[in-house]
A and B are shown apart, each in its own frame.
Chain A
Amino acid sequence: MDGTFSHDVAFEDLDEPPASTPTFLDRLFDQGLLVRTGVDGLYGRSGAFESVVDAVDRMISGIGAGDGAEVMRFPPGMSRAVFERSGYLKSFPNLAGTVHSFCGHEADHAGLLACLDAGEDWTGDQAATDIVLTPAACYPLYPLAAERGALPAEGRLFDLQSYCFRREPSLEPTRMQMFRMREYVRMGSPEQVLAFRESWLARGEAMIRDLRLPLAIDVANDPFFGRAGRMLANNQRAQGLKFELNVPVNSLDKPTACLSFNYHQDHFGTTWELRQADGAVAHTACVGFGMERITLALLRHHGLDLTAWPESVRARLWG
């Protein structure tokens, strides 16, 4: 875990191309794999792109198939009350997305339309609803798990996938504002959840090797906000709570985290009063897969024509 990529990057101009050369994002648009919406980081996906996402999703399911995870799927919006209690705003206020809706009366509606016609701000009567955009697939899960009472002795394991939102507009195709995150979430004793994380560190590495992508696993930190966030980030790194599996996609210097392996200690257990069988506060851990990021890594390394990908990769995905 020294940050050295495990095998040579065998394609050219991974680092910033000359200004005249189409960027990777341009080429994805030109090939029709991604579709422009007019907003950076918000894209449509083609059938070919989705076929890769689906294949990666099946691959992950296959790797975890023997673990008996309980499958749950949530929409990309979650309860605002749950979101507020989760602590997300303490750490990432700048990334959060809230759902607002028109809450005025008829006269206000006329005013809204007048503003719209005049090209003025029409959002004055928009008010926050009880829904926020899901920032990570596991956020809706914890209170529901806690409602079931103490965990059984063997703990619990969940399988999640959701579109997630993070407000960070970027021209890097790997930093989308709305993207899919697949997760396995383990709840139990510290030993149980750390063993889970260790097993997925090995499985994740094997998975990405099977896809013939260069990788490096590094200690990491979440993008906590502000000066307080720098302290949280330093603490997270010092305690080895987060690891990321990185693949160079946009550049070698700033590789892209395609998988992350997170030990939350008792953060969510304490927040949601989630208990182990013996009454102690539960610990949690998760492995997260950036579905678009893995897909983009495959496209970057194996080319935009899926039919020309190495046979072993195609067999692993679609065989």
Chain B
Amino acid sequence: MIPAHDIREVLGHNGDLAPLVDQISEDDNLFDKGLSSFGSVQLMLALEQRFDIEFPDHLLNRRSFSTIRNIRSTLESLLEPSAA
């Protein structure tokens, strides 16, 4: 299981979310917290770099990156496909 801390670390470097990262809960909608469309692209690229993965096209959508819980779930589906 991916620690929430690792995902928060990436969020902490996102221009849209950095100032708020400590106040964001697992299920807060990141877009409601100020994540823009371009910010979500930057978040996607940063997660790919941090976890050494590439999101397939069908996961390149708002839902995959909408909450910390969804990000973890998306990452785990890629990193631990056999556990799915």
Contact = CB atoms under 8 A, between A and B. Distances in A.
Contact of B44 (A87, A231, A238): A231
B61 A234 contact: yes
B40 A87 contact: no
A254 interface: no
Contacts of A90: 38
B60 A227 contact: yes
B37 interface: yes
A232 interface: yes
Q: By DSSP majority rule, is chain B's interface helix, strand, loop, or mixed?
A: helix
Contacts of A267: 37
A227 B60 CA distance: 8
B13 interface: no
A151 to B, nearest CB: 21
Nearest to A233: B60
Nearest to B63: A238
A187 B33 CA distance: 24
A235 B37 CA distance: 7
B62 interface: yes
B14 to A, nearest CB: 14
Interface string A233-257: 0111011000000000000000000
Q: How large, as a class, is the contact surface on chain B? A: 10 to 19
B45 interface: yes
Interface string A202-234: 000000000000000000000000011011101
Contacts of B61: 231, 234-235, 238
Contacts of A87: 38
B57 A228 contact: no
B52 to A, nearest CB: 16
B45 A235 contact: no
Interface in B12-58: 37-38, 40-41, 44-45, 57
Nearest to A87: B38
Contacts of B41: 228, 231-232
A87 B39 CA distance: 13
B62 A234 contact: yes
A231 B59 CA distance: 8
B60 A234 contact: yes
Given A228-B45, A232-B41, A238 B60 contact: no
A232 B45 CA distance: 13
B37 A232 contact: yes
A238 B62 contact: yes
Interface of B: 37-38, 40-41, 44-45, 57, 60-62
5 contacts: A230-B57, A231-B60, A232-B37, A232-B41, A238-B61
Given A228-B44, A231-B60, A232-B37, 14 more contacts: A87-B38, A227-B57, A228-B41, A228-B45, A230-B60, A231-B40, A231-B61, A234-B62, A235-B37, A235-B61, A235-B62, A236-B37, A238-B61, A267-B37
Which 10 interchain pairs have the tightest Cβ spacing? A231-B60, A228-B41, A234-B61, A230-B60, A235-B62, A235-B37, A231-B41, A238-B62, A234-B60, A232-B37
